Amino acid sequence: MPAWEVFEQTEPEFAERVRRLFDAGRHKTIATLRADGSPRISGIECQFTDGELRFGSMEGARKGEDLKRDPRFALHGPTFHPEEGKEGDWPGEAKIAGRAVQAPARTTDVAGAQPDGEMFTADIGEVVITGLNSGASKLVVESWTPVQGLRRLERD
């Protein structure tokens, strides 16, 4: 699976739209897998930095332990409900799925402080934007995978 930078180079306009949707709000939601295989949903923050999608976990937190055991994740950007009468203006929502790679421990951050917790970078398996067509009459699902590239599906 490629890093964010590879996806960004492959589909720059789609990647920019995904980033705008993710940057529209601070809080995102991540799904990880518990030891028994059942899903866990957690709040999380993430950032796009130096060609990588990064997110962290407090030391000993369940989501970090989940990712170290099974790196598969699904990350959902902030969501906003379409405004009644202005559904065509709704920007949609973005999701990213892939595998988390634990970043090497740093002794200090850019401010010289000791970092708390663990940092992960994402290898990208799938990126999706779900929105509406211009007439707000159909659901539009745009998705990208490394194998299939960018696809668009409209549904009633």
Q: What DSSP string runs through 96-113?
A: EEEEEEEPPP-SS-TTSP
Measure the CA–CA gap between 60 and 128, rounded to whole angstroms: 30
Report, as an integer, the average pLDDT of 22-35: 96
Structural domains in the chain (count): 1
Over residues 75-103, the pLDDT tens digits come to: 999 988 888 888 888 899 999 999 999 98
**Total Cβ atoms within 10 A of residue 19:** 16
User: Range of 136's domain?
Assistant: 4-155
Block residue for tokens 């407090």: 58
CATH number of the domain at 151, please: 2.30.110.10
pLDDT value, residue 84: 86
Over residues 106-145, the pLDDT tens digits come to: 655 555 554 678 999 999 999 999 999 988 899 999 999 9
Q: Which residues are 153's β-sheet partners?
A: 141
Measure the CA–CA gap between 127 and 146, rounded to whole angstroms: 10
Number of H-type helices and E-type strands within the chain: 3, 9
Q: pTM of the predicted model, to two decimals?
A: 0.90
Q: Which residues are 155's β-sheet partners?
A: 139
> Of 40 and 103, which is predicted with more confidence?
40
pLDDT value, residue 17: 97
